[in-house]
Structure 1
Amino acid sequence: MAHTLYIVGIGPGNPDYVVPKGLNLIKHATVLVGSERSLEDFQEPGQITYPVTGKLSLLAEQIEHELNSHDVVVMVSGDTGYYSLLPYLKKKFPANPIEVVPGISSMTFAFARLNEVWHDADLMSFHGRQPAPEKLVYEAGKKMGFLTDPEYNPAHIARILIDAGWPKETRAAALERLSYDDEKIVDSTLEVLTELEGFGHSVMVVLG
């Protein structure tokens, strides 16, 4: 019988925010795959572990080898359906049984931290990509959420939005290291965020 590839969302990273089924799969996994940070946080003694690096083709070979003998649990940050490894793994293992256990995305967690709903927000990413300019056009009452990276950090994005016609006094927030003890949240305006340093890998929320 073919072994199962489990894709488990670990939310923002703190084990307190991982669903119980996901935690159980992680705890009892024979083979556990994840970022170096997640392996440090979640791995149990005796588990076979593989870190997720930039060499995804090598990782796929390692997973394929292990699936010959064991189930494999792959931890992905945030939710499995939001900019995760799920599409890549489905493409690499089309005939293999896959079970997906969702988590909490950093985006939904960010809106929760701001006591805001996100069902009416436009969610986009500046992490390794750029949204189409027409998606950034100002509209009164418009909500947006962005994933950021070191190049397109909240300060850079705030300047882009102001140049696109967004009022400087628009409420905007940058959120980093969500769920951890050193969590950082700057809830202010686009104008203030243009001077914000850091927050490379973070979430930015704009509330027009």
Structure 2
Amino acid sequence: MGCMMAQWLTIIGIGEDGYEGLGQNARDALTAAGTIFGGKRHLDFLPEELAAKHVAWPTPFSDAYAMLLALRGNAVAVLASGDPMHYGMGATLTRYVSPDEMLVLPSPSSFSLAAAAMGWPIQDTQLLSVHGRPLETLAKSFVPNARLLILSNDGETPAHVARLLIEAGFTSAHLTVLEHLGGAAEQRVEGVAQSWDKLRCADLNVLAVDCGMPEQFALSYPCMAGLPDEAYQHDGQLTKRDIRAVTLAHLAPLPGELLWDVGAGCGSISIEWMRSHPTCRALAIETNVKRQALILRNSKTLGVPDLELVCGEAPAVLAKLNSPDAVFIGGGVTDAGVLEACWLGLKPGGRLVANAVTIQSEMALVNWRKVHGGELVKLSVSHAQPLGGFDSWRSSLPVTIYIVRKQA
């Protein structure tokens, strides 16, 4: 067995109380380091007598990784805000440095300090970040009585969040901006979304949001499959709610998995796949330009702006994509090469689900099943609608769902 490499990299969490708030082990690591990386604000906390070379994070930030790795084997310290392993530099560096090469010395995270300041139990609170992330990711967290702690991107974030809350119908949501937590400049700014008038707060802040009860017609949806059809803007190319719920049950999204949504229409399947867990990813593959715009609009409105749109036609565009854990074919099963390309790209053990409405597309799935096995389910959904002074059942077109798992 190979011997473990020495811990040459120490990642130190530091708060607004600066060097004085560090423990002895963190101070010893800074004294022993030949190089200390950090943001200018953090480096300015350090006493002059430290002999290490100070290196501020470069622009672009991605250059920092090569600079750090070039010093592998030497004593290096990195200063990071609060808990480096929670939305922090430590979490990022785990992609480049193995755990046995680093020592992490955390301080209380911004979320811990914010929860203490608000008196909110962390286990009952959603911890979110829009630091370098789209604001629209917050949309799916706006639900009645939810408590949110949001790591802001800058001083304008609270005003932007107030606007999003108003648009979602949470006009009475209570906002508390916690600035410079744990430092001498710590203060809070409070208000209600509808009357929020502070355009800019301190750049270093955590935003606490108590959503409360929304107006009657709030844009608030569960994260389970089967959102109302009216949640989507579409041109008629929409997998309807009841069929969508069953389809997603068979796709069975798991955390961290990737979906190909082939012939994505307005994006409903890939959007609800991503809403099921924050780490679920999806590629919405669509050739129609107008539908591409609908996918982008719906993904932002429904809180998954990271949905990746692939503009092009299957099967041609599929060869260049990362292999998926699951594939959904909502349209195009009769197009030459589509089923074959999806099957070829699918990871071993992955799931393929395809829906068919026409006899021709159903026969294509029947013939595919003869070779590859799988399950066929036919769904017929009826809704009660007025007929004169009475009600009658009106049936939608039956949908055939094909489900198969690729053998490992």
Using the size of structure 2 for normalisation, the TM-score is 0.45
Q: SS at 1:41's partner residue?
A: coil
Q: Structure 2 CA distance, aligned partners of 1:173 and 1:132?
A: 16
Once the two structures are superposed, the pairs formed by residues 165-184 of structure 1 within 5 Å of their partners are 165-168=169-172, 170-184=173-187
Alpha-carbon shift at residue 3 of structure 1 (Å) = 5.3
Hey, what does 1:112 align to over in structure 2?
116
Letter in 1 for 2:101: P
Hey, what does 1:65 align to over in structure 2?
70
Q: Is 1:40 the equivalent of 2:70?
A: no
Alpha-carbon shift at residue 184 of structure 1 (Å) = 2.8
Q: Percent identity?
A: 25
Q: SS at 2:113's partner residue?
A: helix
Higher-Rg member (1/2)? 2
Hey, what does 1:197 align to over in structure 2?
199
Q: Structure 2 CA distance, aligned partners of 1:196 and 1:106?
A: 22
Instruction: Judge conservation of contact 1:123–1:144 (CA < 8 Å) in 2.
Output: yes
Q: SS at 1:9's partner residue?
A: strand
Residue 206 of structure 1, aligned match among 201, 204, 209: 209
Residue 99 of structure 1, aligned match among 83, 103, 109: 103
Using the size of structure 1 for normalisation, the TM-score is 0.83
Q: Structure 1 CA distance, aligned partners of 2:190 and 2:111?
A: 15
Letter in 1 for 2:141: K
Q: Are the structure 2 counterparts of residues 132 and 190 from structure 1 closer, same or farther at C-alpha, using a change threshold of 3 Å? A: closer
Letter in 2 for 1:49: H
Structure 2: unaligned runs, 5 residues or longer: 213-408
Q: Is 1:188 the equivalent of 2:194?
A: no
In terms of mean alpha carbon deviation, does 183-192 or 45-54 score higher? 183-192
Q: Structure 1 CA distance, aligned partners of 2:60 and 2:98?
A: 20
Hey, what does 1:156 align to over in structure 2?
160
| 1:111-149 Cα distance to aligned partner (Å, 9 max, x none) | 22233332210111122213252222x212x21011112
Hey, what does 2:357 align to over in structure 1?
none
Alpha-carbon shift at residue 16 of structure 1 (Å) = 4.6
Q: Are the structure 2 counterparts of residues 187 and 22 from structure 1 closer, same or farther at C-alpha, using a change threshold of 3 Å? A: farther
Q: Structure 2 CA distance, aligned partners of 1:75 and 1:150?
A: 20
Hey, what does 1:87 align to over in structure 2?
91
Q: SS at 1:66's partner residue?
A: coil
Q: Structure 2 CA distance, aligned partners of 1:98 and 1:153?
A: 33
Higher relative contact order (CA 8 A, sep 6+): 1
Q: Is 1:18 the equivalent of 2:22?
A: yes
Q: Structure 2 CA distance, aligned partners of 1:115 and 1:24?
A: 34
Residue 134 of structure 1, aligned match among 130, 140, 154: 140
Instruction: Judge conservation of contact 1:5–1:96 (CA < 8 Å) in 2.
Output: no
Alpha-carbon shift at residue 46 of structure 1 (Å) = 1.8
Q: Structure 2 CA distance, aligned partners of 1:64 and 1:126?
A: 28
Aligned residues: 203
4+ residue runs of structure 1 moved beyond 4 angstroms? Answer: none
| 1:26-62 Cα distance to aligned partner (Å, 9 max, x none) | 2442321111111110254321121113334432233
